[in-house]
Amino acid sequence: MRRTELQISLSALENNLKVIKSFTNASVQGVVKANFYGLFDDRMHEIIEQNVESYAVVTIDEALSLRKLTSKPILLFQGVHEQNDYKMIEENNLDFTIHSSWQLKGLSDFNLENSRIWLKLNTGMNRLGFNDKDFLIALKEIEILNIKDIVLMSHLASSETKSNPNNLKQIKKFIDVTKKFSYLKSMANTGGIFNFKEAHFDIVRPGIGMYGGKYSEFGIKPVTKLRSKIISINKVRKGESVGYDGMWTAQESSRVAAVGIGYADGLPFFSSEKTVIINGEKFYTAGMLSMDLMLVNLGINDKVKVGDWVDIWGFENDLSNIAQQFETISYKLLTNISSRVSKNYIE
């Protein structure tokens, strides 16, 4: 059996939720879009269920799958993508975001008494949301509907960078526009939770922090470890090249290991050296990544053998640092792991 696996630490997930909750008095909404950032398991859900007041997803299919597991509120983060989605919202008691005027059309045709509407204000991210004037107009339209509740929301664009002045500008704008309303308010993502207490309001929305992708300086622990086994070791003479296009040439006679993982498993493609760990020792990749294989230069080391595990990243790593090595972001490392990689959940 091919041994390529993503280990997922349930205790680290539980730790991260405790850390997040220790930083705020607000209720916590668990952002579980993209199949819990690619990590879904019933045991993961059980831990998150105990620590959140609601969930956030993007697609109707995600919401329907999650509804089978929980009676808690489930928010469609982007709202409906077409008008007939409101029928599914009505039947499954879903919360939903309104960020554009077209989403208001036909709302009164549905029974939404068990749904909260999250009305989104664009405070400077300029991605989704109403400008000040249209936000107030939309709010008046929503207030006359028979719905469960209204939540006023926005989204911070640069919350991981505390020194970025745009964060305080966004927070101020949100406060200025919404201060006269007594509805629940929500603005802070994971970065906002740790860096901007004034953005917590009533509900915070952690995502990447739960899954250990960032913010180790606040006590967040890595939740994942990606590894694969060596399936072959070849001796390469000085001056010989390996892999596609011969992009790596041995500077001395070396042993080169072939590891059973590639870009079809979700690793970002690369052709420059990357760091891996074998038996606690650091080694470097050799040549470009293949669809199913990664080559590692063992040099003159004769202790590494076929069957040894190669860690691409581990529980001791800050995943955001690993992401920089691969010239990507931690979100993508997690969500891109393919279905052919075994997921093993450990305590």
Active-site amino acid positions: 33, 244
**C-alpha 209: how far from chain center:** 8
d(CA 336, CA 38): 7
d(CA 90, CA 92): 6
In the numeric block, which tokens belong to residue 75?
């928010």
Identity of the residue numbered 165: P
Are the CB atoms for 183 and 176 separated by under 8 Å? Answer: no
In the numeric block, which tokens belong to residue 97?
């975001």
Residue carrying the six token digits 């220790």: 22
- The 8-class DSSP code of residue 165 comes to H
Count the helices and strands in the chain (H runs, E runs): 10, 18
d(CA 111, CA 86): 9
Beta strand 184-186 pairing with 241-242: unpaired
CB count within 10 Å of CB 232 equals 12
Are the CB atoms for 287 and 295 separated by under 8 Å? Answer: yes
Closest C-alpha among 241, 258, 239, 243 to residue 298: 258
Return the H-helix or E-strand segment holding 11: helix 10-22
In the numeric block, which tokens belong to residue 275?
């760091």
